[in-house]
Amino acid sequence: MTVPYSPQDREKVVAKLPAPIRQELKVRCAQLGVDIKDAVTEGIAAWRTTESALPAVDTAGGTSFSTYLPTGTYAGFKDDCKKRNLSYNQGLAQSIRLWLDTHAIPNPVPRSLGARRIIMGNQKGGVGKTAVSAGVAQALAERGHRVCLIDFDPQGHLTRQLGYDMFDIEAPSLAKHMLGEATGKIGDLLVPIEEGVFGGRLFLLPACRDAFLLDAKLATTRHVRIKETALEKALESLESVFDYIVVDCPPSLGYAMDTALYYCRLRENEPAGSSGILIPVLAEDSSADAFDMLLDQIEDLTTDLAVEISLLGFIVNMYDSRKGYVATSSLDQWKSIGDPPVITIIPELKHQREAVRLKQPLLHYAPDCEQADAMREVARRIAS
């Protein structure tokens, strides 16, 4: 029998679905690495071949949901809905529910080499390192991984944006653990981020108020034999607990940044790209100048210590093509580098600013927005 359409030919369909099932679908697709339109197509196909009646799905309060189905599927599906005396919205909700119920959340494969270490670095402030650190960590936790998010910037924006307090100067902190001045376990300092579907898998190590002194103390302390290893030694006990450790770094060329770069180096028997640095940038010239400084710092460190650091890719943040030639030509320039690649482009939209204002994780506050999808794309790329 000849199929009357090519599987690549699709038509846009629009329905109304409640927010919870839309979010669950988007998250599950991200976890499984499946495109939403393919998941919906599979769900409809399974629904149409199911002879027994399926439980009704509560579709009250539904809002617009659109996707693309293979040409011809929509008409046949609507006919089946009529035969079953169901509304199109209910039929689609049942189809998605069926797909979700038959595609369980995957269990991440245990890592024999410990946690993968991802740092966010750029010598320029204001490029969105904090927002990208938080968003990527949330997206990794969405995928089922256990993630520790480290606020390593003395300004503590990450800690405050998520609604938590920085550690007081006299309290135990990451900086004190790095300097050998802390008592207790560093794991006791973690706070769980419980909102959204990543509850129980995402933890924050808050910043401390005296972290701005870290560079000076690293330069003079006797407690750190090799200064570049200080962060690694402090976080060592966490690596058997988490799948990923994501570090929001300061816009610095000092010792603290050296410790972060050393921490994300490739270790013995670790495949290239498993750990490394992601580089948030803007589509303008000052980001390029800052990247040159970061590259010099990385090259000096790798040469002096004979280590390898993977540049995982650029994340072009807060992009707005309406800014004209400066933005579009700068984006082309980032893409032309090729290695590392541009992993994703995050648009300049209101959702991230609103999430920060409300002190909520972006992927909980606006799970359907383009910015959230961009964070998921980064997570998918580094987790593959």
pLDDT computed for residue 193 by the predictor: 94
Helix (H) / strand (E) containing 276: strand 276-281
pLDDT digits (tens, 9 = 90+) for 313-367: 999 999 988 889 989 999 999 999 999 999 999 998 899 999 999 999 999 999 8
Which residue is it, tokens 């390029």? 288
pLDDT computed for residue 202 by the predictor: 96
pLDDT digits (tens, 9 = 90+) for 45-56: 999 999 888 999
What backbone phi and psi angles, to 5 degrees, belong to 48? -70, -25
Average confidence (pLDDT) over 268-294: 90
CA distance 148 to 163: 16
- Based on its alpha-carbon atoms, the radius of gyration of the chain, rounded to whole angstroms, reads 23
Residue 5's pLDDT band, with cuts at 50, 70 and 90, is: very low
Is residue 115 over pLDDT 60?
Answer: yes
CA distance 73 to 236: 53
pLDDT computed for residue 4 by the predictor: 44
CA distance 256 to 130: 16
Cα–Cα distance list, 290 to 168, 255, 287 (Å): 31, 17, 5
Question: Is it true that the peptide bond before 340 is cis, omega within 30 degrees of 0?
Answer: yes
DSSP structure string for 42-100: HHHHHHHT--SPPPP---TT-EEEEEEEETTHHHHHHHHHHHTT--HHHHHHHHHHHHH
The residue among 185, 137, 187 whose CA lies nearest residue 161 is 137
Is residue 100 over pLDDT 80?
Answer: yes
**Global confidence as pTM:** 0.83
The identity of residue 98, as a single letter, is L
Q: Lowest mean pLDDT of 26-40, 74-88, 147-161, 216-230, name the range.
A: 216-230
CA distance 361 to 193: 9
379 burial via Cβ count (<10 Å: 0-12, 13-18, 19+): buried
CA distance 328 to 320: 8
Is residue 221 over pLDDT 70?
Answer: no
Residue 204's pLDDT band, with cuts at 50, 70 and 90, is: very high
Residue 1's pLDDT band, with cuts at 50, 70 and 90, is: very low
pLDDT digits (tens, 9 = 90+) for 183-200: 899 999 999 998 877 878
Q: Lowest mean pLDDT of 5-19, 234-248, 283-297, name the range.
A: 5-19
- Chain-wide mean pLDDT for the chain? 88
CA distance 59 to 303: 60
Cα angle 346, 348, 354 (rounded to 5 degrees) comes to 105
Average confidence (pLDDT) over 110-119: 79
CB 16 within 8 A of CB 65: yes
Helix (H) / strand (E) containing 263: helix 255-263
74 burial via Cβ count (<10 Å: 0-12, 13-18, 19+): middle
DSSP structure string for 184-222: S-GGGG-EE--SGGGTTTEEEE--BTTGGGHHHHHHH-S
pLDDT computed for residue 169 by the predictor: 87
